[in-house]
Amino acid sequence: MLFWHEEPRRKARIEIIPMIDVMMFLLVFFVLISLNVIPALGLKTQLPTSSKPEKLEVRTHAVVTVTKDGQVQLDGVSYSLDGLHAALLKLVQTNKAVDVVVNSDRDASVQQLIDVMDTVKSAGITSVAIASAHK
């Protein structure tokens, strides 16, 4: 029953803007905490000094892909076998330590694979691996 002097009841409203502010604060808080915690997980050490330290070689990894139709690519760029040889020689000249992974299609002929392996060897690269999938 409604009396003249009573105002009609307003429906309750749920304000989500303060909730968004709180969630943003929590997100920022956890990101900042995680950035400060992650470096603290390792052990702090002071490296010993040496009068004649040796610099480790940084190895370069190259992927040679052989398709079933005989197309050859080095790191995504198509080459003929002669072009592949020149590109590998250039790679060896710029980087002394080069690892090559041969990624061959299962339907590619064995002769194509052997030709690519011979080209890699003739470029002076001895670290060669053939990529395969786990059964």
Structure tokens at 74: 């080095």
Q: How many CA atoms lie within 13 A of 20 on its CB side?
A: 4
pLDDT of residue 25: 92
Q: How far apart are CA 70 and CA 62, in angstroms?
A: 19
**Which of 108, 109, 131 minimizes the C-alpha distance to 62?**
131
Give 10-residue mean pLDDT values along the chain (135 residues): 67 85 91 72 68 74 84 85 86 81 83 86 83 75
pTM: 0.56
CATH of domain 60-130: 3.30.420.270
How far from 119 is each of 9, 42, 109, 115, CA to CA, in Å? 86, 44, 16, 6
**Do the beta carbons of residue 80 and residue 93 sit within 8 Å?**
no
* Strand-strand pairing, 98-104 and 60-66: parallel
Confidence (pLDDT) at 121 = 87
| CB-based contact 113:66 (threshold 8 Å) | yes
